[in-house]
Amino acid sequence: MNEKSVSTDVLRRMEKAMNSHDLDALAECFTEDFRSVIPLHPARSFTGRAGMRRNWAGLFAHVPDLAATVRQSVTDRDQVWSEWEIAGTTVDGERYLSRGVAILRLRDEQIASVRFYLDDVDDPDSAG
């Protein structure tokens, strides 16, 4: 399998698992020693698949109709730059919308690390 098809496969599996809220399938996209770096919120960075599972279990519970879309992606060897949109409605009935870029580093057809540049989108109705 060439590099581009591996990266496309990982993104497709990740997007499908997110949209079906399949935490086990999503976890299989990541290595056990996965490293998540969140430059916009450094205190939220972590290492390990267990942390990834905790984060996503919480998000799936908070946004029960969560839907994720990869808008576009580019592959450079073992690195994948991907633009995401994640939307839904929270359990409190609030709109949830996050957009941005995730830079993935792959190892053995899994995600070994990611730099997340996703953040919540401002509600246009709340503008002053």
**pLDDT tens, residue by residue, 57-102:** 999 999 999 999 999 999 998 999 999 999 999 999 999 999 999 9
CB 30 within 8 A of CB 52: yes
- pLDDT value of residue 39: 95
- Beta-carbon contacts of residue 22 (< 8 Å; ≥ 6 apart): 16
* Domains by residue range for the chain, with CATH: 3-121 (3.10.450.50)
- Give 114's strand partners: 36, 104
Q: Give me the sign of the Cα torsion angle 81, 120, 27, 14.
A: negative
Reported as a pLDDT band with limits 50, 70 and 90, residue 8 is confident
Q: Is 46 helix (H, G, I), strand (E, B) or coil?
A: strand
Reported as a pLDDT band with limits 50, 70 and 90, residue 123 is confident
